[in-house]
Structure 1
Amino acid sequence: MKTEKEKMVNGELFIAVDPELVKDRENARRLARLYNQTTETDECKRNKVYSKTPHKPVFYDK
């Protein structure tokens, strides 16, 4: 049987309050908050926070 996270990644219906998904969301919010508290010139701290993200975001050029 698939985990709720596997279902989510595959685009299937999943239970959002699954403990693993809740933990992942809390961690993502914490890392986003830490990153957003840095300045543009604080590259070292930004890289440290960014390196802890489990999945790297995709940036698109406009």
Structure 2
Amino acid sequence: MSNLSASDRNGLRAGAVITVMAAFLAGIASDNFWSGFVITAIVCAVALLAAHVLSRAVISRRNR
């Protein structure tokens, strides 16, 4: 993968912060803190990764 631009790095950092915050809140709301935290963190991380891959695909298509 090519080097990330400044906006990509900022977006990934913001996404990671949002992932941790969502996982923390889901852990508090669930019966078992750790299971709620881990499940939500995994779901958010997969969504963040998919959004990053799709945005890279759209940008590379646009630059053709």
**TM-score (norm: length of structure 1):** 0.37
Which structure shows the higher helix fraction? 2
Question: Which one scores higher on RCO, CA 8 angstroms, separation ≥ 6?
Answer: 2
After TM superposition, the score normalised by the length of structure 2 is 0.37
